[in-house]
Amino acid sequence: HLEKFEIIITDKDLKEKLSQLSYPYFIIDLMHWEKHTEKEKKKVALQASQSYGVIRDYLWGERLALTWVNEEFKEMANFPLDKITAYEGPTWEFLREKGIEKVVLLDPWAEKDLSKEDFSAGAFIIGGIVDTGGTKKKTTPKIGEELEKRGIKVLRRKISLKGDIIGVPDRINLILEILLKMVVEDKPMDDAVLEVQ
Ligand code: SAM
């Protein structure tokens, strides 16, 4: 009768693969791509590229996933898409393939702040949205609604500074960095926000 046993893995590559599996995916959802002007699309692509730089400071490139990736985005993205997880289909298909049923949607319109209890989710989703003219108000909650329609459990959570979202940068790469400081480095939300400002 075996109660406890240990498996010792000596293969370096396998070891790294296994340790990656215990981390969630950080997804930039490009569902609203077509709502952007040409100039805004370039900004989305730039912030995605900066997100690639950020993820590599904390985890591995492949833990950053981009969904709804299309040809236009591929042309605008000047970073190696093969080093991240680039997915051409909708987010719910990606989640289904990975067996992820519960996600956290980073949403400035959410009632609740992101907290430690949410960290067990299989993925964190950031809207691939850039606002220059205020034409994309409340587009983040729509990402959540579409996922819920497909049976995904969505926890909508906001990031705030001293209880207010004013003062929190809304760039995709900075939201990702705040998230990584909290999830990977276990930092309190206010500290994480202040460190990226
Ligand atoms: N116009 C969008 C809206 O009204 O829903 C906001 C877009 S914001 C520029 C880009 C993304 O950053 C959002 O989709 C969201 O995932 C994330 N984000 C920005 N500020 C946030 C905050 N205070 N808390 C949580 N997520 C935030």
Read off the tokens for 172. 């995709």
Read off the tokens for 83. 């080093």
**Ligand 1-lining residues (CB < 6 angstroms):** 106-109, 126-127, 129-131, 136-140, 158-159, 165, 168, 170, 172, 175
With H, G, I as helix, E, B as strand and everything else as coil, classify residue 102.
Answer: strand
Token pair 């987010």 is at which residue? 91
Cα gap 47→174, rounded to integer Å? 9
The complex's ipTM works out to 0.99
Q: What is the pLDDT of residues 30-73, one digit of tens each?
A: 999 999 999 999 999 999 999 999 999 999 899 999 999 999 99
Mutate to test the pocket of ligand 1, among 46, 113, 140 (most ligand atoms within 8 A of CB): 140
Cα gap 15→105, rounded to integer Å? 30
Alpha carbon nearest to ligand 1 atom 13, residue: 127
- At 100 the pLDDT is 95
CA of 108 to the centre of ligand 1 (A): 5
Calculate mean pLDDT across residues 134-159: 96
pTM of the model: 0.93
How crowded is residue 70: how many other Cβ atoms within 10 Å of its Cβ? 11
Q: What is the pLDDT of residues 177-187, one digit of tens each?
A: 999 999 999 99
CA of 83 to the centre of ligand 1 (A): 25
- At 136 the pLDDT is 92
CA of 63 to the centre of ligand 1 (A): 20
**Closest ligand 1 atom number to CA of residue 159:** 24
Read off the tokens for 190. 């206010």
